Amino acid sequence: MARSIEQERVQLEADAKKLDERRRMLADRERAELMKEVEKSGMFKGDPDQIRALLAGVKKLGIAEAAKRLTA
């Protein structure tokens, strides 16, 4: 049986909501994994002022430039 245009539209809307939720969940998982990596690196063991200064430097330079300078 053919679906009406309105039924198809409703189904597409529901699918879009499910996809958005999956994307949000994936982003949350990625963020959690990154935090685990930061913890493993020992970065949180540093002095809070040093960590803040390092983060300010990364923010000022941008991720790509900071990574380039740290690996040089």
Domains of the chain, by residue range, sit at 1-41, 45-72
pLDDT bracket for residue 2 (50, 70, 90): low
Q: Which residues, including other chains, have CB under 8 Å from residue 3's CB and lie 6 or more apart?
A: 11
At 4-63, the pLDDT tens digits run: 999 999 999 999 999 999 999 999 999 999 999 989 988 888 899 999 999 999 999 999
The answer to whether 44 and 38 have CB atoms below 8 angstroms apart is yes
pLDDT value at 64 more than 60: yes
The length of the chain is: 72
Residue located via tokens 């994936």: 26
